[in-house]
Structures are given as structure tokens and as C-alpha cells.
Amino acid sequence: MNKFDTIYKNLIKDILENGIEETNHRTGHKTKAIPGLTFSIDIENDGFPLLTLRKIPLKMFIAEQIWFISGGRKPEEFLRDFTKIWDEFTNPGDVVTVAYGYRWRKHFGRDQLGLLIKLLEKDPSSRHGVVITWDPAGDGLGGANKKNVPCPYTFTVNIIGGKLNLHNIVRSNDTILGTPADVAGFALLQCMLAERLGVKPGIYTHSISNAHIYDIHYDTANEIISRNNEHTKIDLNIPKDAFARAEKRDKMLVEEIFSDIMKQYTPMEAIKGIKIVL
């Protein structure tokens, strides 16, 4: 198995065996959960963190991350051509009010991603590379009732030893459906930022405040634990000027990244019928 497969399999096993089972009031589902879970992947040495223990829809996380970088908030603008993953969270105007990329680039009156790049170009040693998604004016704490609030709510970026590292902090992760997609998506963002800044990608770190498995996913979790896949690492080759092309919602960029991964991706069969809990 690749490094991420091993980490992920151990994570799922730990939650099933040691997680506390409780009923979630909002969803009505039982979950087994562990607090404060963190893992890291060295992208250069361990490879791109893409799960192979079950087949993952590649264009979903690739297109989603490009949409984020562009600052979009309407799925009809680019994203829906590749995935409908955010359609459940739109308002009557087809707007995702908590769209991550919009919050990174426009919501707080600052282009956080643009400023991040300028900061690290000027001072690669800076430790101020923090991007926020969570809006304390209305998110959480029993505030406004929304279809969604950010799960990955902040990330930090720094350059150490000529390598760009990204630490993604997640308040809540459905580890069966959410974690594999979030890890791949934010690691892709890390690789695209590294290419933009002319450095190599370094350590991707994923921290989860509440790592859980829903009751309807217990069988899927046990199936994943039973699997082993002899799979070599994926060395992701980011196209030149990928970040700038993402800002312009270049559809060919999705195809190029997808093609590069597909040449190396040999997953086990998909597990059908995994339903999302909203």
C-alpha cells in the first residue's frame, strides 16, 4: 500500500475500535468518533496522498479545488461540468454562501490567496501565511441556520528548506467520504502553490477536531480495513502556470491533471452505495 493508504486504514481501524459511539442530534445518526486526530504526508518522498483502497472520483476533487482557487461561489460557473457535489448546498440563486474559494478570495474584503503568494514571494521565511474560511460573524456557535458551514476552516502555509508545507485544520470530518477528498484536494492546492512559487511541495498535515464514522458507513469501513493494494506512489506533475490557469477556470487544466494521475492510479474497485449524511 502507499503511505496514505496505510495511514488511512489505521485511522479507520482506530475509530472503529476506540471511537466513542454517540447519537448526533443534528443528523439523528450514530457515529463513532475520536477527537484531535492528526497525520502528515511528505509529498515528495511519500507521493501524492490519493486513496487506492477504493476508487476515488478524480475529477471531483481536481475541479473542486480549481473552482476554489478561482474564488467561485456558483456551481454553474465551471464546477457543475465536472461534479454536482456542492448542489445540495446552494440557495435559490444557485449560490453556495459558504463557498471556500469565495471566502479565501473575496468574502472578508481581502484576497487571502493572492496576499499569501505575495507574502511568500517577498519573505519565504514568513510564518504569517494563514488563510481563514470560518466567518465568526455568522458561522457556528448556534448562529444562523445554514445548509453548510466550513469543515476545513483554516490552513497555514510556510516554506522551510525550500519546500512549501500546508497544514489543514478541519473541525469535523466524515472520514469515509470527506477525508479522502479533502486530503487530495488540499494537497493539490499545496502542489499548485508550490509550483507558483517555484519551490517543491513538502509536508501536508491534516488535523481533525472530530474524526468520525457514521453508522451507515460501518460496513464500508470494515471493508476498507480488509483490503490491501500493492500500489506504487503517485508523483504528481503539476502543469506550468497551473495556479494562474485555475484562476481563469481553465477546463483543460482539469483534464491535464486528471490524465497525469490516471497514468499512475491503480485503485481497488469502488465501494458502491456510500451515501452522504447531510
> 206, 170 in Cβ contact below 8 A?
yes
For helices 58-70 and 178-197, angle between their N-to-C axes, nearest 10 degrees: 50
234: left (phi over 0), alpha (psi -120 to 50) or beta: beta
Q: Is 151 a catalytic residue?
A: yes
Which among 204, 155, 197, 195 has a CA at the least distance from the CA of 50?
Answer: 204
What distance in Å separates the CA atoms of residue 187 and residue 193, rounded to the nearest whole number?
Answer: 10
SS3 63: helix
Among residues 131, 151, 211, 234, the one annotated as catalytic is 151
In angstroms, how far is CA 145 from the centroid of its own chain? Answer: 24
DSSP state of 212: E
Q: Alpha-carbon Rg of the chain, whole angstroms?
A: 18
Catalytic residues: 151
